[in-house]
A and B are shown apart, each in its own frame.
Chain A
Amino acid sequence: MDTLLQQLINGITLGAVYALVALGYTMVYGIIGLINFAHGEVVMIGTMVAFTVIVSLAGSAMAPLMILGIGVAVSVVVCMVLGWALERVAYRPLRHAPRLTPLITAIGMSIVLQNVAMIIWGRNYITFPPMIGKHIYEFGGASFTNVQIAIVTLAALMMLGLIYLVHRTRIGMAMRATAQNQHVAALMGVDIDRVIAMAFIIGSALGAVAGCMVGSYYEIAHYQMGFMLGLKAFTAAVLGGIGNLAGAMAGGLLLGVIEALGAGYIGDLTGDFLGSHYQDIFAFIVLIIVLMFRPSGLFGERTGDRA
């Protein structure tokens, strides 16, 4: 029983990490229906920038939490600029291009960002300095740390914040209008370019925060870390219904829990015929089954006629 509880805790933390990244995908997708494939790389840059700032400040007299705060702040700003630049350079000129065109520029951008990061931060794995002293808590035979609590809380807060932003503020209203119909929104006086740029900036800021959390949780960073993370987060976003903020959260958590339980129990379920090496298969099969019955994801709208 305590094993199951521990697996659930593992899964929820992992899921919250996915959700944090997935929110960035969904934010952009919800508004212009574009998969920002380079988002994983934005997260990676976020981690790397925070790492550089934290390491260079680590010797100073500031409190560790303060240093972490500055690191996050700088990385958020850098990523916002990066997100804005991405949109400006790679996506805006292609807004009326065939659907797959921005997908290829996104792939191109992620190759560029990876190699830039490799030139700046080198090829080696980097130890992300732990700024928060880790406390291990025990509960019913299962253990978890304060960093895990922080990640889950933060993911929930960010989702709520975004929902507030989208549904209760002026810019949010403009975003929703743009998502519905760009032309009509423009006629109503919405500055489409600005709204879309905002979506990218916000999404990238979220990516930066996610990157910092991923960095402090696993305490490791590498210039290729964005790819797998982005892929899983993208899967999570689709699972929840891409474009839907609550869906990204739900999809992330679900994917995380499926992976943990899959790795933990798939062997017992199949009499050790399939082991934890089939963990990802398990996740993808659940995804396929969900999409067979709900072709637009768990929370997605049923209209999704975007082919």
Chain B
Amino acid sequence: MKGQFRRSVAGQRPWLGVLLLTAVLLLVPFVAGLGGQAWVRIANFAILYVFLALGLNIVVGYAGLLDLGYVAFYAVGAYTYALLASPHFGIHLPFWVILPLGAGLACMFGVLLGAPTLKLRGDYLAIVTLGFGEIVRIFMNNLNAPVNITNGAQGITLIDPIRIGDFSFSQSGTIFGITLSGPQKYYFLLVVLALLVIVVNVRLQNSRIGRSWQAIREDEVAAKACGINTRNIKLLAFAMGASFGGIAGGVFAAMQGFVSPESFSLMESITILSMVVLGGMGHIPGVILGAVLLTGLPEVLRYGIEPLQRAVFGRMIVDPESLRMLVFGLALVLVMRFRPAGLWPSSQRLRELAETAD
């Protein structure tokens, strides 16, 4: 694995790829901006989901722990930001204080979730994490009485945008002679954050910890016998995954300017998990692809389903909104049907699959 990695980075011309990638990342907001700012916003959410999916990838892809409550950490991060940077409590801390704080708090929640569930396997773990996600959401929804902490279902409004000095990310402005809209600014912030999480993911994958996770994923008993402290290593997976969720939540709150519990439903956890699995569990480019596709697809369909229907049937047969989600569901089924290991699985995973499916 490690050898392969070296070869791929050092062997062929890596500069070309990196350069191209940088160019594309730089150009995306402007190209998308041509089609309307909505596409920039979609790109932003896509990157936010890349971030979330890579966080969940640590738990599910690396350590093999099926987590259906990942959105809880996202919620913790979002509410931390919302409470500490809004008129709700009248506290307005800068983002560089809150984001790490949110990550830390989410990390704590990760351990809190991990600790009682260490013994559980597979589907039992899934249902407990699902329950945990719901518990967090229900608390957010109800902690408006007797003391109003989260303002309940009505949510928290007027959250401060991310601001560096006078440079606010929510307004459009000009830097270096280029006019950037609010969403475009957030795009660059998100890209930087996403690159950070990708680097951490890559480094982890081939570290001692990463290998321990893989060992646990493949065979926990054997891993234990090899001297891996499975308890700590598993907790670490939850904690790391959760911290990323926390950061993503904070950015989400700042970007939206509003948080309410309905953003953190079970469906959100399921969506993030689908991104990880659809793209290719444990494989970073795959997970990124999964996140981008699943965020983009419903939006592309939003624009495309009407002309498509007209082209195929000559008129509107069913109302496009019903068809949009239908096509989305079908796409999930078909992709998994023909690419069971995900759209872009790691080569190692593919080989394993070929061996088992005799």
Q: Is the CB of A115 within 8 A of B326?
A: yes
Which residues of chain A are within 8 angstroms of B336 by Cβ–Cβ distance?
94, 97, 101-102, 104-105, 108
Which residues of chain B are within 8 angstroms of A138 by Cβ–Cβ distance?
none
Tell me if A164 counts as interface (CB < 8 A to partner B).
no
Tell me if B325 counts as interface (CB < 8 A to partner A).
yes
Number of interface residues of A (CB under 8 A): 51
Q: Is the CB of A280 within 8 A of B341?
A: no
Q: Is the CB of B139 within 8 A of A281?
A: yes
Q: Is the CB of A235 within 8 A of B332?
A: no
A191, chain B: closest CB distance, angstroms: 19
Beta-carbon contacts under 8 Å, A277-298 to B: 277-278, 280-281, 284-285, 287-288, 291-292, 295-297
Tell me if A112 counts as interface (CB < 8 A to partner B).
yes
Tell me if B333 counts as interface (CB < 8 A to partner A).
yes
Q: Is the CB of B326 within 8 A of A307?
A: no
Q: Is the CB of A306 within 8 A of B123?
A: yes
B196, chain A: closest CB distance, angstroms: 27
Q: Is the CB of B142 within 8 A of A107?
A: no
| Choice from B64, B117, B119, B142 contacting A277 with Cβ under 8 Å | B142
Beta-carbon contacts under 8 Å, A200-243 to B: 231, 234-235, 238, 242
Q: Is the CB of A108 within 8 A of B266?
A: no
A98-B281, A100-B277, A295-B121 known; A112 vs B138 contact (CB < 8 Å) = no
Nearest residue in B to A235 (C-beta to C-beta)? B127
Q: Is the CB of B322 within 8 A of A108?
A: no
Tell me if A110 counts as interface (CB < 8 A to partner B).
yes
CA distance A273 to B147 in the complex (A): 10
Q: Is the CB of B66 within 8 A of A100?
A: yes
Tell me if A189 counts as interface (CB < 8 A to partner B).
no
Nearest residue in A to B318 (C-beta to C-beta)? A119
Nearest residue in B to A99 (C-beta to C-beta)? B122
Number of interface residues of B (CB under 8 A): 52
Tell me if B198 counts as interface (CB < 8 A to partner A).
no
Contact count A vs B, C-beta below 8 Å: 146
Tell me if A65 counts as interface (CB < 8 A to partner B).
no
Q: Is the CB of B322 within 8 A of A104?
A: no
* Complex interface: stretch among B9-17, B128-136, B242-250: B128-136
Tell me if A96 counts as interface (CB < 8 A to partner B).
yes
A235-B127, A238-B124, A306-B122 known; A281 vs B135 contact (CB < 8 Å) = yes
B122, chain A: closest CB distance, angstroms: 5
Tell me if B337 counts as interface (CB < 8 A to partner A).
yes
Tell me if B357 counts as interface (CB < 8 A to partner A).
yes
Which residues of chain B are within 8 angstroms of A280 by Cβ–Cβ distance?
134-135, 138
Chain B CB within 10 A, most for which of A93, A94, A103, A108: A108
B102, chain A: closest CB distance, angstroms: 23
Which residues of chain A are within 8 angstroms of B126 by Cβ–Cβ distance?
35
Which residues of chain B are within 8 angstroms of A186 by Cβ–Cβ distance?
none
Q: Is the CB of B329 within 8 A of A112?
A: yes
A46, chain B: closest CB distance, angstroms: 19
Tell me if B167 counts as interface (CB < 8 A to partner A).
no
Classify the interface of chain B: helix, strand, loop or mixed. Answer: helix
Tell me if B233 counts as interface (CB < 8 A to partner A).
no
Which residues of chain B are within 8 angstroms of A307 by Cβ–Cβ distance?
64, 121-122, 217, 220
Which residues of chain A are within 8 angstroms of B220 by Cβ–Cβ distance?
307
Q: Is the CB of B270 within 8 A of A98?
A: no
Classify the interface of chain A: helix, strand, loop or mixed. Answer: helix
Q: Is the CB of A108 within 8 A of B331?
A: yes
Q: Is the CB of A104 within 8 A of B138?
A: no
Which residues of chain A are within 8 angstroms of B328 by Cβ–Cβ distance?
111
Q: Is the CB of B123 within 8 A of A238?
A: yes
Tell me if B141 counts as interface (CB < 8 A to partner A).
yes
Tell me if B93 counts as interface (CB < 8 A to partner A).
no
Tell me if A89 counts as interface (CB < 8 A to partner B).
yes
| Choice from B60, B127, B337 contacting A105 with Cβ under 8 Å | B337
CA distance A296 to B356 in the complex (A): 26
| Choice from A90, A284, A288, A306 contacting B121 with Cβ under 8 Å | A306
CA distance A110 to B336 in the complex (A): 14
Convert B319-358 into 0s and 1s, putting 1 for each residue whose CB lies closer than 8 angstroms to a CB of A: 0001101101111110011001100000001000100110
Nearest residue in A to B337 (C-beta to C-beta)? A93
Tell me if B146 counts as interface (CB < 8 A to partner A).
yes
CA distance A278 to B142 in the complex (A): 8
Which residues of chain A are within 8 angstroms of B48 by Cβ–Cβ distance?
none
Tell me if B3 counts as interface (CB < 8 A to partner A).
no
| Choice from A101, A102, A111, A284 contacting B326 with Cβ under 8 Å | A111
Tell me if A304 counts as interface (CB < 8 A to partner B).
yes
A263, chain B: closest CB distance, angstroms: 13
Which residues of chain A are within 8 angstroms of B333 by Cβ–Cβ distance?
89-90, 105, 108-109, 112
Beta-carbon contacts under 8 Å, A20-73 to B: 29, 35
| Choice from B128, B273, B332, B353 contacting A287 with Cβ under 8 Å | B128
Q: Is the CB of B135 within 8 A of A119?
A: no
Tell me if B116 counts as interface (CB < 8 A to partner A).
yes
Q: Is the CB of B131 within 8 A of A288?
A: yes
CA distance A242 to B122 in the complex (A): 12
A103, chain B: closest CB distance, angstroms: 7
Taking Cβ atoms with an 8 Å cutoff, the residues of B that contact A are 60, 64, 66, 116-117, 119-124, 126-128, 130-132, 134-135, 138-139, 141-142, 146, 217, 220, 266, 270, 273-274, 277-278, 281, 318, 322-323, 325-326, 328-333, 336-337, 340-341, 349, 353, 356-357
Given contacts A98-B340, A108-B331, 8 further A-B contacts (CB under 8 A): A35-B123, A89-B337, A98-B353, A108-B329, A111-B332, A281-B138, A291-B127, A291-B128
20 contacts between A and B (CB under 8 A): A89-B337, A96-B356, A97-B340, A97-B341, A101-B277, A101-B340, A102-B336, A108-B330, A108-B331, A110-B329, A112-B333, A114-B325, A115-B322, A115-B323, A116-B326, A235-B131, A273-B146, A280-B138, A284-B134, A284-B135
